[in-house]
Structure 1
Amino acid sequence: MTEQGKYLPLLRRELQEYRNSLVLAPLAMAGVFIFLLALSVVFANRLTVVGNSLVEILGKNSAGRGVNITISIDEEQSAALDYPGEEPAANDPSAQEWDFGRDWTFEPQTRTAGPLDDPGAGRPVNMVLNGLHWVFLLVMLATSVNYLLGSLYNDRRDGSILFWKSMPVAEQREIAAKLLTACVLAPAIYLLASLFTQLCSAALAMAAVRRMDMSPAEVILANLDLPGLLGAQVGGMVIWVLWALPLYAWLLLCSAAARRSPLLLALAIPLALVVMEQLFLGSDHLSSAITAHVPQRSATGADSLGFYLLPPDWRTLDYTGMLGGLLVALVFLYATVRLRRYRLDV
């Protein structure tokens, strides 16, 4: 059996055991989003029909009392005003000041540079679709953390580790399969669900715009940069995995080492080390290193992990910090394999 064939059963096992959070959750999110958007399109169309009916009814009820202004200008530039209703008083200043015989000049405004004229400008539709994508990212982060904390702890708690120990599977492959599930399978599933939701959202938005008697090409497609959207989200996901790998490895280590609560262990040790560093050394290098490898959305967006509005600038990334994080992740994974081999219960 090839090396790839040895990992496929392990990956299928992870997807079966955590099907709700890794597979059904993104599909359910996509279905709910698309249903709500489709409902909003239908509901908006109903509002448009009701609004037009109300306008017609109000127009009929106000017949004879409304204001009907007709302006006619002949070739000699003289104007006539037809205003049915009360005649203005002779001494009314407004009647004397308002003179339609004066010269009027119509100067249409020139079209300002739009999103298509400036390649670096953000597209409004991209911003909206990125908002949908962020929801998937937040849910993926929560499910990944929950999966990694429980992947090695739950089978020790219920005793199923003894069954898996009887299988001819090395601990290294088991840990690698769990890490691949969190770093490859989960991001791929959530990314595909997010992209499908965004494409359906754009299509529904075009349908809504068309019902409003507007051009979908001008309103939606002109403000949508699909290559930039894909580049930002796929590139952000790659950076997410590379930078968050130390965090994921640490969560696996805590899952293999914890006797009661993996989450408490994962939070208590870093917090204690950060407090000790600040008390005894007066520095914050450890806290900066920890926060640098946690998926986040910064204020400037320059060092964001995964949450990108524009494609990430690969030239400005801190590759030294990334390499250091990967080395730390290897240390955590080695310790996880050792604990997995000898710790069989909680």
Structure 2
Amino acid sequence: MSISPINKMKWLIRRELWEHKGMLLWTPAVIGVVMTVLATLIMIGTIAQTKVRTAMTVNGEAITWSAILGTRSFAPRRMEIIETVANNYTYTATPLYLALGFLVFFYCLSALHDERRDRSVLFWKSLPISDAQTVLSKAAIALLVAPLIVVAAASLTSLLLLLILGSVLAANGIFVFSELLASPGLYLGPLRVFGLLPVYCLWALPTVGWLLMVSSWARSKVFLWAVGVPLLLLILTVWLGKLTLTENDINWIQMNVIGRALLGTIPGSWYLFEPELLPQVQAMAQGAPLPRVDIFSNSWSSLALPATWLGAAAGAALLYAAIRLRSWREEN
């Protein structure tokens, strides 16, 4: 009985999760636990060292924060603060998002090279699995599965940090849980982060394609080949650029070729490559007040840029090269 391509892909993805459980599953979990424990200890230390309950003393009488926050004059400001926290609490898990960039980077570097080094590639080639299915399963791990795992861990961690903050405030007579639970931002925050995964996949595709191609080709020193070649190109670009290219051409090559080959796995890298996505830059240049940034809308608007799709096409071509190189390496 033949196995459908979809079932083959499912088993290949499961295989990657089994073989890289420590990197893909345990690392995000450990980082989330460490962040939660550190945040708890910091908040406990703050309570122990300062009089959080007392905001000020007037004529010898202690005025608590709960009394100040409960006044009518402060009520609109209180709701504004709670709304801001509810809309932005997912950003507290930034260390996990940064860790995603490193996890995907080093996973791709070792994905095809390690199985060739330990000769397990011979076993997998003996099965009815094509090189294309193997490479695409590893690309799926890097572009879809690993981001999903990290985003889930980050959402849970940020929610725990918010609950800890609310508990600390409640212990000091400041009760915000009712307002937080009534705020749409509390529920939309994680959904917005998950909604950015398609944008991340497109912007990370060039880097993932480049790293998998190098992993498929290099016999040793994969990291040096993956990083050294773009850095050498950077040096040559700067050197030759002084003779033949303008400064704008040099900057374009540095960001759209070299930068996207190495930095695409970092979430939010599209802001590095296309800084005009940030309205603060234009506002600061014009001397206008800083506008409120909607990261979700700005990120999706990056899909209207030609650089997004040119990079995605280059990433797809690099994945094809990785497939061909995997087959060629073993045949020779």
Question: What range is the shorter-chain TM-score in?
Answer: 0.7 to 0.9
2: CA distance between counterparts of 1:231 and 1:252? 30
Is contact 1:126-1:229 (8 Å) kept?
yes
Is contact 1:232-1:310 (8 Å) kept?
no
2: CA distance between counterparts of 1:36 and 1:117? 27
Q: 2:256 aligns with which of 261, 278, 289?
A: 289
Counterparts in 2 of 1:140 and 1:341: CA distance versus 1, 3 Å: same
Aligned residue in 2 for 1:123: 84
Aligned residue in 1 for 2:325: 339
Deviation at 1:322, TM superposition (A): 1.6
1: CA distance between counterparts of 2:16 and 2:52? 53
1: CA distance between counterparts of 2:117 and 2:91? 40
1:121-153 Cα shifts (integer Å, max 9, x gaps): 981455454032x10111111111111001111
2: CA distance between counterparts of 1:202 and 1:182? 29
Equivalent positions of 1:225-264 (< 5 A) are 225-264=185-224
Aligned residue in 2 for 1:101: none
Q: 1:201 aligns with which of 136, 141, 161?
A: 161
Amino acid at match of 1:194: A
Q: 1:32 aligns with which of 26, 31, 34?
A: 34
Is contact 1:243-1:322 (8 Å) kept?
yes
The reply to whether residue 267 of structure 1 matches residue 253 of structure 2 is no
Which SS does the other structure have where 2:127 is aligned? coil
1: CA distance between counterparts of 2:156 and 2:206? 30
Amino acid at match of 1:339: L
Aligned residue in 2 for 1:153: 113
Q: 1:312 aligns with which of 281, 290, 297?
A: 297
Aligned residue in 2 for 1:78: none
Deviation at 1:111, TM superposition (A): 5.0
For the pair shown, the structure with the greater C-alpha radius of gyration is 1
Give 1 or 2: higher helix fraction: 2
Aligned residue in 1 for 2:98: 138
Amino acid at match of 1:302: L
Deviation at 1:288, TM superposition (A): 2.5
2: CA distance between counterparts of 1:301 and 1:341? 42
The reply to whether residue 302 of structure 1 matches residue 263 of structure 2 is no
2: CA distance between counterparts of 1:188 and 1:24? 14
2: CA distance between counterparts of 1:122 and 1:301? 27
Aligned residue in 2 for 1:82: none
Deviation at 1:25, TM superposition (A): 0.7
Please report the RMSD computed on the Cα atoms of aligned residues, expressed in angstroms.
3.6
- Number of residue pairs matched by the alignment: 288
Is contact 2:302-2:308 (8 Å) kept?
no
Deviation at 1:245, TM superposition (A): 0.4
Deviation at 1:265, TM superposition (A): 1.3
Counterparts in 2 of 1:301 and 1:212: CA distance versus 1, 3 Å: farther
Q: Which stretches of structure 1, 4 residues or more, deviate above 6 A after TM superposition?
A: none
1:91-129 Cα shifts (integer Å, max 9, x gaps): xxxxxxxxxxxxxxxxx99559648569xx981455454
1: CA distance between counterparts of 2:92 and 2:276? 14
TM-score normalised per structure 1: 0.71
Amino acid at match of 2:35: F
Q: 1:192 aligns with which of 147, 152, 157?
A: 152
Aligned residue in 1 for 2:68: none
Is contact 1:235-1:312 (8 Å) kept?
no
Counterparts in 2 of 1:33 and 1:309: CA distance versus 1, 3 Å: farther
Deviation at 1:303, TM superposition (A): 5.8
TM-score normalised per structure 2: 0.74
Aligned residue in 1 for 2:64: none
Gaps of 5+ in 1: 56-66, 70-107
Is contact 2:17-2:24 (8 Å) kept?
yes
Amino acid at match of 1:131: T
Counterparts in 2 of 1:168 and 1:115: CA distance versus 1, 3 Å: farther
Counterparts in 2 of 1:46 and 1:303: CA distance versus 1, 3 Å: closer
Aligned residue in 1 for 2:4: 2
Equivalent positions of 1:33-72 (< 5 A) are 33-43=35-45
Which SS does the other structure have where 1:259 is aligned? coil
